[in-house]
Amino acid sequence: MTRTIGALTVDPVFDGTAVIPATRAFAGTTDEQWAPHRRFLDADGNLELSLGGFLVRSGERVVLVDAGVGDGPVGPFVGGRLLESLAAVGVAPADVTDVVFTHLHFDHVGWATRHGEVVFPNATYRCDERDWAHFVGPDPGATRKLEPIADRLEPWSGTGPLLPGIDLLAAAGHTPGSTIVVLSSGTERAMLLGDVVHCPVELLDDEWEGLADVDPDLARRTRIALAKELEGTDVPVAAAHFAGLEFGRLVRAEGRRRWVVD
């Protein structure tokens, strides 16, 4: 569903899903811990992670934030639909002016290239320079996937403005260059959280462990700070794996945090 933030439009762009038992997705959690949070699980206790990204359009720019898993499955991460989803909102690969990666894990860069060919031929590719250094070179899979875009890359360095209506908020921990994308236009604001949070449950309770964090302690501090900030605002947020790529808000009522889908 298209959402507007002032003069910006935002569309979720599905690539696929990953269906994983919740107690395995969040290693060390128990059925008892999940009992109050069944609304985030399916009838069999699985967490269904959406895969894909968000298309942000403003004037001349057509910006894809995260690029899914790519063509074909990687374990339980079954992608393949991103280009169809873009076509469904009227966007061809050549129309994309910028591809912004919240971080460089495989399930966010899948459609950066295909068989070594750049998928978005007119796009400038953008990510935090710390993630590029962490993954490209040291990680063979990421290197294979991302090397072909090296000459189209404009890396950023931490918090700051990126494009009209799009600002970056450094949120290290999940990866060294993990970044929150802040959208703003006029008086309206929204945030794309990348993988700082995989499921809204992580915002409800500070004790929750993250998922696949490169630096779990830092990731947890980042998440706790984010939850504190969000509960005092009315800013809608979405993350790369929230069910249905839906936006929601973190509200505090009667001493407890609640997640309210927009």
Give the burial string for 104-130 (b: 16+ CB within 10 Å, else e).
Answer: bbbbbbbbbbeeeebbbeebbbbbbeb
Q: Give yes or no for a contact between 6 and 184, defined as CB atoms under 8 angstroms apart.
A: yes
15 binds Zn ion (CB under 5 A): no
DSSP for 167-194, written as a single string? EEEE-TTSSTT-EEEEEEETTEEEEE-T
- Minimum Å distance from CB 178 to Zn ion? 10
- Minimum Å distance from CB 103 to Zn ion? 8
Tokens found for residue 232: 């005092």
Task: Single out the segment in contact with Zn ion by CB under 5 A; choices: 57-65, 139-147, 162-170, 187-195.
Answer: 187-195
Counting Cα atoms < 13 Å in the Cβ hemisphere of 162 gives: 32
- Minimum Å distance from CB 247 to Zn ion? 18
66 binds Zn ion (CB under 5 A): no
- Minimum Å distance from CB 105 to Zn ion? 5
Nearer to Zn ion, 8 or 240 (CB): 240
Query: Number of residues in contact with Zn ion, rule: CB under 5 A?
Result: 2
> Can you tell me which of 195, 202, 203, 259 binds Zn ion, judged by CB under 5 A?
195
107 binds Zn ion (CB under 5 A): yes
Helix (H) or strand (E) holding 19: strand 8-21
Q: Which residues bind Zn ion (CB under 5 A)?
A: 107, 195
